[in-house]
Amino acid sequence: MASFYEKHVLPRLIRCGCGCEMLAQKRAALIPGASGRVLELGIGGGLNLKFYDPARVSGVTGIDPSAELRAYARAAPRPDGLAVEILDASAEEIPFEDGCFDTVVTTFTLCTVPDAPRALAEARRVLRPGGQLLFCEHGRAPDAGVAAWQRRVEPVWKRVFGGCHLTRPVSGNIAARFSIERLESGYMPKTPRLAGWVEWGRAVAG
């Protein structure tokens, strides 16, 4: 059973932390590239919804195991004409048949899902051949000093932020399942470096 913290504090913390202006700029650059039938992994508070282009997207399905965050996502702003469904499901066990999505979106989710490689294998399975994965994720920093701090802080960080990891490789995990066609990375400004290394781009299912 979820604790008071998990039910009432963590969802607000996640929505607030993920809702900052710097991340909104990343979302605004990435999400308009989505097209066709879209699946969003760990949709959280639905903060990407307002950036989808309804002229390019036939519908967005968001999955998330958190009932509280799903409720936020259902109420999140979105463009007129964008069809959205929000479901209770895990990225490691996506309840859809093979090859039925054109785009899978993952933003700041692979840090938290318990088994990120399995989530990526599932994303690959439900994408049609040639379908795209749009990603923006934080993870293991390339600088040894920062990475050492990430390892030290991660045990406490995970407890405070609902299982969020600091040390997971981002593009390394994605490249095991997809062809990465565009990759950018860098430290987010005004963010502690241990949580600020972000990699974003587009990968294709072969």
Q: Each residue of 11-49: b (16+ CB within 10 Å) or e?
A: beebbeebeeeebeebbeebbebbbebbbbbbbbbbbbb
* Smallest distance from ligand SAM to CB 144, Å: 26
Angle 39-44-49 (CA atoms, 0-180°, nearest 5)?
Answer: 60
Asked if 10 is part of the footprint of ligand SAM (rule: CB under 6 A), the reply reads no
CA angle at 54 for the pair 49 and 57, rounded to the nearest 5°: 90
Q: Does 107 sit near ligand SAM (CB under 6 A)?
A: yes
- How far out from the chain centre does Cα 132 lie? 14
| Segment interacting with ligand SAM, rule: CB under 6 A, options 58-66, 76-84, 167-175, 186-194 | 58-66
Contact call for residue 69 and ligand SAM (CB under 6 A) = yes
Closest distance of CB 3 from ligand SAM, Å: 15
CB-facing half-sphere around the CA of 185: CA atoms within 13 A: 15
Q: Is 92 in the site for ligand SAM (CB under 6 A)?
A: yes
- Closest CB to ligand SAM among 74 and 144? 74
Q: Minimum distance between the CB of residue 167 and ligand SAM, rounded to whole angstroms?
A: 16
The answer to whether residue 109 forms part of the interface with ligand SAM (CB under 6 A) is yes
The residue within the footprint of ligand SAM, chosen from 61, 90, 132, 173 (CB under 6 A), is 90
Residues that bind ligand SAM (CB under 6 A): 14, 18, 41-45, 47, 63-66, 69, 90-92, 107-109, 112-114
